[in-house]
Amino acid sequence: MAQYELYLCNDRGRRLMPLTNLSSFAASLVINNTGAFSATLRPPATLATLQNYHYIERNIRKDWQVQVWFKTRGPWRLFAAYLVLDWGWGQSEDGGEVFSFGGYDINHLLTRRVVAAYAGSTHTFMTDYADDMMKAVVTDSLEDDALPVPTTGSRAWADLTVAANLSKGPSISKEFAWKQLLTLSGGGALEDIALPARQGGNPVYFRIVPNTISNSAVTWKFSTQTGQPLTDRTSGATQVVFDADKGTLVNWSLDYDYSEEVNAVYGLGPGTNETQNVRQVYDEPRTKGSYWGRCEGIAQASIQKIDAAIDAKANDVLSAGRPKVTLRGEPVSRQGQEFLRHWGWGDKVIARAKGKQFQALVWSVLVGQDEDGKVTESARLEFQE
């Protein structure tokens, strides 16, 4: 088990106080989404710690941060920072007072921006590498140059920058006027970019990472990765293997699903009857997968003015209609293969089940402490193609 330290910070990341008297807490991370945080605090018996309790409950503000740090062997490292977005008071089962607060990790900033530009503009219709496209839409969301420009305030956040382009994702075409960059359910413009890249076999992952860290401030950077969000642990000296037959992968499932396959798509562009611009995209090997193999679908693209935009809509349907092979399970931390020491969130690892081997991602993790002081750590693996 790792050791954990938590700190309450202001909205710019300046440390205000250590959170040493929490009754319980839970903190999660999820790939291409927002992780969550929650904590409870009871009024302590001693005067010194009671003063800390009152400071928190009386002063806590929206977007204050909770930094979660961990240590296995070696230095302390930042697990994640969470924006405080809700808090309140209640009564416990024993009749005492409980103060609770929580929120989401720093990726929540992406839910606060939309692609604020008119359809058909260079800010909303793009052909680019998927990772560079993600950075372009985030960059645009931090600037005031696209029409319509803000009528009050500015969209810029000096403490959030965007990493340089890497051009490692697949080339795709997308349009997403007025879409939220990210939703709490995992949708939005960034997922619209990530989906065809993932289904095409070259996934792109995004997150906001620390750029500079000190006790007085933290700055952030929007970053992308291909292959896996963090470390490839599928070979060599750092290889990590979870095997269902050996009990190191539990609560697992392996599924093959062709029930919603689409492998030939008609893109329905503008026009009516014989004058309608209808484009076709298809995956020929899949259409010939069996005697009955051709599975058709349509993509509504009546507002798209150019063939490339219609094709992009049709390819979205084609990508979404790929047959799905999914492996999910819970990896077991054990000696020589310890969570947060030998592997962690965002790593690519080997997972084995039913005599087959997959390169799976540690898709989500949850760490916490209950009211008895017991530390818990859990993770979830996922492979899908």
The domain limits of the chain are 3-106, 113-226, 236-256+337-362, 259-322
What is the architecture of the domain spanning 3-106? Answer: Beta Barrel (2.40)
With tokens 């076709």, the residue in question is 280
Paired with 256 in beta bridges are: 325
What pLDDT is attached to residue 239? 96
**Length of the chain as a residue count:** 385
37 near 65, Cβ under 8 Å?
A: no
**Residue-wise pLDDT tens for the chain (385 aa)?**
889 999 999 999 999 999 988 999 999 999 999 999 999 998 876 666 678 888 898 999 999 999 999 999 889 999 999 999 999 999 988 888 899 999 999 999 999 999 988 887 888 888 999 999 999 999 999 998 878 888 888 899 999 999 999 999 999 888 888 999 999 998 999 999 998 888 778 999 999 999 999 999 999 999 999 999 999 999 999 999 999 999 999 999 999 999 999 999 999 999 999 999 999 999 999 999 999 999 999 999 998 889 999 998 898 899 889 899 999 999 999 988 999 999 999 999 999 999 999 999 999 999 999 988 899 999 999 998 7
What pLDDT is attached to residue 21? 84
212 near 218, Cβ under 8 Å?
A: yes
359 near 365, Cβ under 8 Å?
A: no
With tokens 């992308």, the residue in question is 224
Given CA atoms 333, 339, 341, 344 in this order, what sign does their dihedral have? positive
Q: Interior CA angle at 382 toward 317 and 296, to 5°?
A: 20
What pLDDT is attached to residue 47? 61
With tokens 């560079």, the residue in question is 132
> What CA–CA distance (Å, rounded) separates 32 from 194?
9
66 near 7, Cβ under 8 Å?
A: yes
At position 48, the amino acid (one-letter code) is A
In this structure, what are the phi and psi dihedrals at residue 214, rounded to the nearest 5 degrees? -150, 175
At position 41, the amino acid (one-letter code) is L
C-alpha distance from residue 384 to each of 138, 147, 157, 325 (Å): 27, 39, 35, 5
> What CA–CA distance (Å, rounded) separates 187 from 191?
5
> What CA–CA distance (Å, rounded) separates 160 from 166?
18
- Answer whether 0.75 is exceeded by the pTM: yes
> What CA–CA distance (Å, rounded) separates 351 from 217?
39
What pLDDT is attached to residue 46? 61
